[in-house]
Amino acid sequence: MKKYFRKGFPFFRSFRLRIFLIILCAGIIPATILRYVIVNAYENRAVDVKKKEVENQVRIIANHLLAYGYLEDSSSEVVNAELNQLSNLYNGRVMIMDDTFRVIRDTYGISEGKTMISEEVIKCYRGESHTHYNRRYQYIEMTVPITEFPVNMDTGETSDVSVCRGVMLVSASTDNIAITRAILNRKSMVVLFTCIGCMVAIAIGLSYILIRPFNKITQAITAVRAGFSDEEISVPDYYETVHIVDAFNQLQRRMKAFDDSRQEFVANVSHELKTPITSMKVLADSLLTQDNVPVEIYREFMEDISAEIDRENEIINDLLTLVKMDKTAADMSIQQTDINSLVEQILKRLRPIAVQHEVELIFESLRAVSANVDSVKLTLAVSNLIENAIKYNHPGGWVRIVLDADHQVFTVTVQDSGIGIAKEDLEHIYERFYRVDKSHSKEIGGTGLGLAITRSAVLMHRGSIQVESALGEGTTFTMRIPLIYIV
Task: Tell the smallest beta-carbon distance from residue 415 to ligand ADP (Å).
Answer: 9
Q: Which of 382, 416, 460, 463 binds ligand ADP (CB under 6 A)?
A: 416
Of the candidates 30, 41, 168, 155, the residue with the CA atom closest to the CA atom of residue 93: 168
Closest among 475, 469, 485, 305 to 378, alpha carbons compared: 485
For ligand ADP, the binding residue among 86, 172, 389, 409 (CB under 6 A) is: 389
Q: Check residue 398 and give left, alpha or beta (phi > 0: left; psi -120 to 50: alpha).
A: beta
Number of alpha carbons in the 13 Å side-chain half-sphere of residue 332: 21
Residue partners of 202: CB distance under 8 A and separation at least 6: 23, 27
- Rounded to the nearest whole angstrom, what is the least distance from the CB of residue 452 to ligand ADP in the complex? 6
4: three-class secondary structure by DSSP: helix
Q: Which residues, in sequence order, are bridge partners of residue 398?
A: 360
Please spell the DSSP secondary structure of 152-166, one letter per residue. PTTT-PBPSS-EEEE
Q: Pick the closer one to ligand ADP by CB: 463 or 474.
A: 474
Based on CB atoms, which residue is closest to ligand ADP, 58 or 429? 429
Specify whether the CB–CB gap between 463 and 404 falls below 8 A.
no
CB 164 within 8 A of CB 146: yes
Segment near ligand ADP (CB under 6 A), from 65-73, 339-347, 368-376, 382-390? Answer: 382-390
Q: What's the min distance (Å) between Cβ of 362 and ligand ADP?
A: 15
Specify the residue, 39 or 343, whose C-beta has the smaller distance to ligand ADP: 343
Residues 238-257 that bind ligand ADP (CB under 6 A): none
Q: With respect to ligand ADP, which residue has the nearer C-beta, 319 or 429?
A: 429
> Phi-psi category of 485—alpha, beta or left, where left has phi over 0 and alpha has psi -120 to 50?
beta
- For the segment 460-479, give every residue that binds ligand ADP (CB under 6 A): 475
For ligand ADP, the closer of residues 92 and 450 by Cβ is 450
Bridge partners of residue 476, in order along the sequence = 415, 468
- 3-class secondary structure, 474: strand
Name which of 351 and 442 has its Cβ closer to ligand ADP.
442
276 is an interface residue for ligand ADP by CB under 6 A: no
Taking CA atoms, 183 is separated from 28, 82, 138, in Å, by 21, 33, 16
Q: What is the distance, to the nearest Å, from the Cα of residue 3 to the centroid of all Cα atoms in its chain?
A: 20
**Residue 457 binds to ligand ADP (criterion: CB under 6 A):** no
User: Contact 206/23 with Cβ under 8 angstroms?
Assistant: yes
Mode of pairing for the β-strands spanning 163-173 and 360-365? unpaired
Is residue 384 a contact residue for ligand ADP (CB under 6 A)? yes
Nearer to ligand ADP, 57 or 388 (CB): 388
Q: Give the integer Cα–Cα distance in Å for 418 and 477.
A: 12
Closer of 123 and 391 to ligand ADP (Cβ): 391
- The answer to whether 418 contacts ligand ADP (rule: CB under 6 A) is yes
The yes or no reply on residue 392 touching ligand ADP (CB under 6 A) is yes
Pair 464, 480: CB distance under 8 Å = yes
Question: Which residues, in sequence order, are CB contacts of 10 under 8 Å at separation 6+?
Answer: none
Cβ-based nearer residue to ligand ADP, 13 or 423: 423
- Of 169-177, 322-330, 373-381, 416-424, the window that binds ligand ADP (rule: CB under 6 A) is 416-424
Q: What is the nearest approach in angstroms of ligand ADP to the Cβ of residue 344?
A: 20
Give me the amino acid identity at 206: L
From 78-86, 256-264, 359-367, 427-435, span contacting ligand ADP (CB under 6 A): 427-435
* In the complex, minimum distance from the CB of residue 464 to ligand ADP, in angstroms, rounded to a whole number: 17
Question: Considering only 73-81, 122-130, 247-255, 429-437, which stretch makes contact with ligand ADP by CB under 6 A?
Answer: 429-437
Among the listed ranges 158-166, 177-185, 333-341, 387-395, the one in contact with ligand ADP (CB under 6 A) is 387-395
Alpha helices in 290-338 (DSSP H): 295-325
Site map (CB under 6 A) of ligand ADP, residues 431-450, x = contact: ---xxxx--------xxxxx
**Which part of the chain contacts ligand ADP (CB under 6 A), choosing from 70-78, 127-135, 253-261, 383-391?**
383-391
The answer to whether residue 325 forms part of the interface with ligand ADP (CB under 6 A) is: no
Contact set with ligand ADP (CB under 6 A)? 384, 388-389, 392, 416, 418-421, 429, 434-437, 446-452, 475
